Amino acid sequence: MQKSTLRPRLEPALQVRIHDLMVKTRCVEERMIKMNRDGEGFFWIGAPGEEAFGVPLGLQVKKGQGPDFDYLHLHYRSSPLIMAMGGTMLDSLRQMGMRATDRYSAGRNFTNHYAIPEWNVAPMAPTIETQYLIAPGTAWVQRRHGGDGITIVNGGDAGTAEGDFASCLIWSTRPGKEIPMLIIVVNNKFGISTSHGTQHGVRNIADRGIPHGMQTKVINGNDVFESWAAIDEAMRYVRTERRPFLLEAHVSRLNGHSSSSGANRVDELDCILEFEKQLLADKIRTEAEIKATWERWRDEANACVKQLRTEPFPEASDIWKWTFHNDADNTLAKAGGD
Amino acid sequence: MANMAQAIRMALAYGEKHLGVTDVFGEDVGPPLGGVFTATQGLRTSWNSPLDERGIIGMAYGIAVAGGKPVAEIQFCDYIFNTIDLLKLVGNAHWGSAGKFNLPLVVMTPVGAGIHGSIYHSHSFDSIMTHIPGWKVVMPCTPIDAYGLMIAALKDTNPVMFMKPKALLRTKGDERIPGEPEDEKVLKDMIDAPLGDRSNWKPRWPELTDYTVPIGKAKIVREGTHVTCVTYGRHVHWAKAAADTLANEGISVELIDLRTLYPYDFDAIKTSVRKTRRVVFLNEDTAVTNFGEHLLRRTTEELFYELDAPPRLLSGKNVPGVGLAPVLEDASVPQIADIEKMLRETATVPA
Ligand SMILES: Cc1ncc(C[n+]2csc(CCOP(=O)(O)OP(=O)(O)O)c2C)c(N)n1
Ligand SMILES: [Mg+2]
């Protein structure tokens, strides 16, 4: 991607806040990688390299419950967004540590797989593209409901090969029935080991919105300023016009695909280091302040891991829980025998 | 000894050289990775597909129609569910075209729990797959059987679903693959891709020879007289461990590794059950409408008066997923202790 020429003004206090959340996210991800290496969690997948895009996104979400607020249908590299919305390190680490106290899945799901009704964060699944089919449902309800709440859906570049992505483009642009949806593709140029260019003939993934009459944009998601401005523009459009917008953000994948590929740091541009250069040059932060930010979040992450180690794992009998709604004693769950 | 992933890889290399395999493909199947479990590393005809399971099965169908011999991989069976209609089409192409088209293709996919795979990466696929007529369905539990069943699948002129028990893909067997060098380090040097840059790497395949495990033929893993256990995949190993313990208590278990789920070897089951008069069917798929229930039904209908105890099914629990925390996984799929318990009960319940 070309270096951004667009650099909107962001208040220094906001820049400090963004930086703080970026570091917080990186630290919680790095702590999870360490838990994986220490045998305290089995599988790690997450978002180092997506902070410059995800944090500005999370800060601009209209957070709340119900159709007046934004609905979120996310993929597994959404920790910057969740941290920016107010997610805690402890909650993420509890999921990594498979504790009964894991508020997202009670020890059932992989890390970074949220389900947060109070913030309209729909249950997440490892299936790479199903969220693009589910999102039009909440956006449809919002279209009928009115107001300025929108639906936000994100996913990776490789996953756009699934028909689900094409369905999303179709369903969001039915003539006279367009829906208020911000469709995001986070392009890190890889799906596991397969490079994007070997499988996709389109110039930009975002261009696929054009024949549907959709507003589209491709941005450098490693740049905080460009990300903030593009998300702001796209959200304003979707909130007021009640039509979809397709935004493609190019980002780094700093620790490879997941713990399955080792989770080692790779040589790609680090958006936090880039942002810090800017903060120093603009005298918004000093070296010492930056260092203190990292130390504070690393300490916090360590403290959270200490805390969760004292918390219980789920119990064997928990497997039946929540199979059905309104089935407190698991009678329906065990209708086929136990 | 070769592990199961290496055995599959060698069978596919044999297939490329001798059985006309034209395409081995799927997500991350080609270079540089050669499959998330390395089962396709270094294969001459391997290539990476888009991340699109429906596209993968459709492509295999089309290649087979045009005279190719495709081996398609679905990275995990957890991601095969969106292809069910295409699997149905593959299964009914011969039947629906009044025999005018046959589809010699193989689909392989890792199945089952056992790798801390959580809700996704722990699904079983035996019940749904055996519910799609027109397919042969196999599942090995050792590297040598994986080699022999893959070669049988490649020779077959029908579609074959080759299910790979994912927890066993890195485990070694105790029988050498025909042509496999004695020293496993030598084998590794020959056929495992190096770490780091692989762009100039090429495997050196051993002089592999034909070895076919006939589709439809079960294997008696252990002979016994008091109770029969019929299973497949990784639960063969667990049933064996349970049988070893029970032997110390004087309970003799006959263990059948089905190896082929369709067309399954009912003769082997019948012969064994006639001898022991007691039987437990074992698998880790969810309980309701489980493939083992079908075997139970036939056993009940055809052997009712020859049974001394109710035939039983030990399966996974009927819950929507396998949870990540080990206690959840262990409570969801049958463990060695559960197998021991059910075999003991079945062997000792008064006639
Ligand atoms: C339907 C489906 N098929 C296969 C997988 C296995 N898988 C997990 S992540 C991944 C690659 C995804 O690449 P991309 O969409 O670019 O997202 P990224 O991981 O790069 O953020 C694959 C193939 C899956 N999760 N879901
Ligand atoms: Mg990607």
Interior/surface letters A93-128, b for 16+ CB within 10 angstroms, e for the rest: bbbbbbbebbbbbbbbbbbbbbebeebbbbbbbbbb
Q: Which of A9-13, A46-50, A101-105, B73-77 has the lowest mean pLDDT?
A: A9-13
CATH classification of B4-191 is 3.40.605.10, yes or no?
Answer: no
Tell me the chain B residues in contact with residue A99 when contact means C-beta distances shorter than 8 Å.
325
Query: Which helix (H) or strand (E) element contains residue A114?
Result: none
- Provide the pLDDT for residue A6: 55
For chain B, state the CA radius of gyration: 20
Written as one letter, the residue type at A117 is P
Q: What is the DSSP letter of A313?
A: P
Asked whether the predicted pLDDT for residue A2 surpasses 50, the reply is no
Is cis: bond before B50, omega within 30 of 0?
Answer: no
Q: Where are the domains of chain B?
A: 4-191, 219-347
- Provide the pLDDT for residue A234: 98
CA of B48 to the centre of ligand 1 (A): 13
Average pLDDT over residues A19-43: 98
The secondary structure of chain B, three-state, reads CCEHHHHHHHHHHHHHHHCCCCEEEECCCCCCCCCCCCCCCCCCCEEECCCCHHHHHHHHHHHHHCCCCEEEECCCHHHCHHHHHHHHHHHHHHHHCCCCCCCCCEEEEEECCCCCCCCCCCCCCHHHHCCCCCCEEECCCCHHHHHHHHHHHHHCCCCEEEEEEHHHCCCECCCCCCCCCCCHHHHHHHHCCCCCCCCCCCCCCCCCCCCCCCCCCCEEEECCCCEEEEECCHHHHHHHHHHHHHHHCCCCEEEEECCEEECCCHHHHHHHHHHHCCEEEEEEEECCCCHHHHHHHHHHHHHHHHCCCCCEEEEECCCCCCCCCHHHHHHHCCCHHHHHHHHHHHHHCCC
- Provide the pLDDT for residue A9: 83
Flag whether residue B27 sits within 8 Å of chain A, measured between CB atoms.
Answer: yes
- Provide the pLDDT for residue A7: 67
| pLDDT band, residue B138 (cuts 50/70/90) | very high
CB-based contact B225:B103 (threshold 8 Å): no
CB-based contact A111:A92 (threshold 8 Å): yes
Measured CA distances, A154 to A295, B107, B151, B263 (Å):
31, 30, 42, 43
Q: Where are the domains of chain A?
A: 2-334
Span B158-214, pLDDT tens digits? 999 999 999 999 999 999 999 999 999 999 999 999 998 999 999 999 999 999 999
CB neighbour list of residue A195: distance below 8 Å, 6 or more residues apart: A189
Q: What are phi and psi of B285, to 5 degrees?
A: -70, 165
A277: tokens are: 């250069």
Nearest chain A alpha carbon to B288: A336
- Provide the pLDDT for residue A1: 42
Span B308-323, pLDDT tens digits? 999 999 999 999 999 9
For chain B, the distance separating the N- and C-terminal CA atoms, rounded to the nearest angstrom, is: 44
Q: What are phi and psi of A11, to 5 degrees?
A: -55, 140
Name the burial class of residue A170, with classes exposed (0-12), middle (13-18) and buried (19+) by CB atoms within 10 angstroms of its CB: exposed
Asked whether the predicted pLDDT for residue A166 surpasses 80, the reply is yes
Span A294-333, pLDDT tens digits? 999 999 999 999 999 999 999 999 999 999 999 999 999 9
CATH fold for domain A2-334? Rossmann fold (3.40.50)
How far, in Å, CA of B279 to CA of B21, rounded? 40
Q: Which of A128, A188, A196 to mutate to test the pocket of ligand 1 (most atoms within 8 A of CB)?
A: A128
Residue A314 has its nearest CB partner, among B117, B318, B325, at B325
How far, in Å, CA of A5 to CA of B260, rounded? 62
Flag whether residue B337 sits within 8 Å of chain A, measured between CB atoms.
Answer: no
CATH classification of B219-347 is 1.20.1250.20, yes or no?
Answer: no
Chain B stretch 148-167, residues whose beta carbon is closer than 8 A to a beta carbon of chain A: none
Q: Quick count: other Cβ atoms within 10 Å of Cβ B193?
A: 16
| Sheet containing B160-165: order of strands | B46-48, B23-26, B70-73, B106-111, B160-165, B136-138, B260-262
Chain B stretch 220-279, residues whose beta carbon is closer than 8 A to a beta carbon of chain A: none
Asked whether the predicted pLDDT for residue A3 surpasses 80, the reply is no
Point out which residues pair with B229 in neighbouring strands: B255, B280
Query: Tokens 């990292």 identify what position?
Result: A294
Classify the C-alpha dihedral A63-A65-A71-A72 as positive or negative. Answer: positive
Residue A108 has its nearest CB partner, among B53, B324, B330, at B324
CB neighbour list of residue B11: distance below 8 Å, 6 or more residues apart: B146, B147, B148, B150, B151, B154
- Provide the pLDDT for residue B330: 98
**Could B321 and A108 be called an inter-chain contact, meaning their C-beta atoms sit closer than 8 Å?**
yes
Span B206-240, pLDDT tens digits? 999 999 999 999 999 999 999 999 999 999 999 99
CB-based contact B8:B146 (threshold 8 Å): yes
Which site among A319, A321, A331 would you substitute to test the B interface, given the most B Cβ atoms closer than 10 Å to its Cβ?
Answer: A319
CB-based contact B119:A108 (threshold 8 Å): yes
CB-based contact B170:B143 (threshold 8 Å): no
CB-based contact B211:B146 (threshold 8 Å): no
Q: For this structure, is B235 an active site residue? A: no
Task: Output the average pLDDT for chain B.
Answer: 98
User: B4-191 with B219-347: one CATH topology?
Assistant: yes
How far, in Å, CA of A158 to CA of A191, rounded? 5
Task: Output the average pLDDT for chain A.
Answer: 96
Average pLDDT over residues A216-245: 98
How far, in Å, CA of B114 to CA of A17, rounded? 42
Q: How far is it between the farthest Cα atoms of chain B?
A: 66
Pocket of ligand 1 (CB under 6 A): A 77, 126-128, 155-159, 188, 190-192, 257; B 27, 51, 75, 79
Average pLDDT over residues B56-85: 98
Nearest CA to CA, how far is B68 from chain A (Å)? Answer: 22
Average pLDDT over residues A142-153: 98
Q: Is the ipTM of this complex over 0.90?
A: yes
